[in-house]
Structure 1
């Protein structure tokens, strides 16, 4: 009996070793993508869609070394809404972002992310309004310690068609709290310095629920634009709607 038990144990160990040896290796690349919609598209606190709903999508490719490439897009209206009736008109219904960079970690607690991001507005004619194209390029760098992330973005071009704004910067402080059961809470504060203009601040608080890759979110978003400049953020095409006023933004996104 002892001999049979020994042989059986040896066979089990050998089969386990063989299974471990044939286990599929970690893939060099990982592909992910998503599609979704929001009740309005807010960026750095300001509505990019005239406080109307927007469709959004994204795709990312990441290498196991830490390098990554990605793209993200959304419908927008701010370029068209900037048209001045009877004076100048502009078009550009889509924002398409292309980015790439490197993510790494110093240890289990501290990680970093550096890269570049091109904001591209295909076929836009925003220079009819300001004399500058809306396309913008930024370099960014961020450090995450536990659940807190500090990130800085610096424009190497004029910022979204604002004349003489090359060298503008955005500082972003956020945290991601895992509440369990697919729930997360993300508070955020940011400061956008527009060179040769001024600085405004934005904030948000986002609660999200992930159900097997389907993410439902609600975010309270706002800025100090009206308080800081003593005027609402208005565009000719958006009427009297303050595009920087506090609002609740609801989103639905599916991750694949």
Structure 2
């Protein structure tokens, strides 16, 4: 996902990248700046649910920012496992937004367009977002909301996971919306090179599998959370995080075999896991 889509990974796998040019020849900030990062994570989790079949993923992105606060960027990751992404089995996110100071913090509003190049175009969808962050001493707090209006990619097209595995649409063309509320906290531990980080989020959405057996909120309403820490050396950041959801095996049963590791009818790709990530900023 994007640096917004994965609040967990944004904090733990994709750190804020270094600005390519910090000043002009006359020591004024440049009108445009470019930042980016590339890294690997042991599992690509989107709001607590694995998008890489509990296998490693290579991810990266680049952002161009204007001094006015306007920015645009792209972010990409490989995919695998549940659902049928098709094509390159790749997610490519297009992001645009605006940042501005507000009440001693920073307000960030924008839109993410999730696409799957060469594959399942019915799973493409747009999601506007807003987040407010502020810092007090060594602590940084962020609150965010993402609301995707009604779209076919968010509709429940299958009654069960078995229907999805067989390719039998029970409600083709169904549309739904999705709301995600989340909060993040980071705390720089004094006297150490470590920053402790925490995340909690709640999804309300389609309650089933959408076109090509994918879903943003596969059980309709659920919590996800994480707790971890990272450390940075030069332009490298190493992160560890424990990630989990409250989606139980019983609650997810009707989604199988599409909502399972390797689409084999067993396992739960929304279960708890330890994420390990390494990213390089440029």
The verdict on a shared fold, with TM-score over 0.5 as the criterion, is yes
Whichever of the two has the greater Rg, that structure is: 1
Contact 1:38 1:251 in 2 (8 A): yes
Contact 1:159 1:194 in 2 (8 A): no
Which whole-Å CA distance do the structure 2 matches of 1:218 and 1:41 have between them? 13
Which whole-Å CA distance do the structure 2 matches of 1:95 and 1:119 have between them? 7
Question: What is the CA-CA distance between 1:172 and the residue it aligns to?
Answer: 0.9
How many residues align? The count is 221
For the pair 1:237 / 2:238, whether they are aligned, the reply is no
Question: What is the CA-CA distance between 1:33 and the residue it aligns to?
Answer: 1.4
Which residue of structure 1 aligns with residue 116 of structure 2?
A: 121
Pair 1:140–1:112, CA change in 2 (3 A): same
Indicate which of 183, 186, 194 corresponds to 1:183: 194
Which residue of structure 2 aligns with residue 73 of structure 1?
A: 76
Deviations 1:136-160 (A, max 9, x none): 1100011124322111111133445
Structure 1 gap ranges (5+):
1-21, 84-88, 127-132
Question: What is the CA-CA distance between 1:107 and the residue it aligns to?
Answer: 3.8
SS at the partner of 2:181? strand
For the pair 1:98 / 2:87, whether they are aligned, the reply is no
CA RMSD of aligned residues (A): 2.4
User: TM-score, structure 2 length as denominator?
Assistant: 0.71
Indicate which of 208, 216, 221 corresponds to 2:230: 208
Question: What is the CA-CA distance between 1:161 and the residue it aligns to?
Answer: 6.5
User: TM-score, structure 1 length as denominator?
Assistant: 0.78
Of the structure 1 ranges 113-122 and 171-180, higher mean CA displacement relative to structure 2 is found in 171-180
Contact 1:34 1:59 in 2 (8 A): yes
Pair 1:236–1:230, CA change in 2 (3 A): closer
Which whole-Å CA distance do the structure 2 matches of 1:202 and 1:253 have between them? 23
Larger RCO, structure (CA 8 Å, separation 6 or more): 2
For the pair 1:224 / 2:246, whether they are aligned, the reply is yes
Contact 1:92 1:125 in 2 (8 A): no
Which residue of structure 1 aligns with residue 145 of structure 2?
A: 152
Contact 2:223 2:245 in 1 (8 A): yes
Which residue of structure 1 aligns with residue 178 of structure 2?
A: 168
Of the structure 1 ranges 143-152 and 66-75, higher mean CA displacement relative to structure 2 is found in 143-152
For the pair 1:55 / 2:58, whether they are aligned, the reply is yes
For the pair 1:139 / 2:134, whether they are aligned, the reply is no
Which whole-Å CA distance do the structure 2 matches of 1:119 and 1:166 have between them? 16
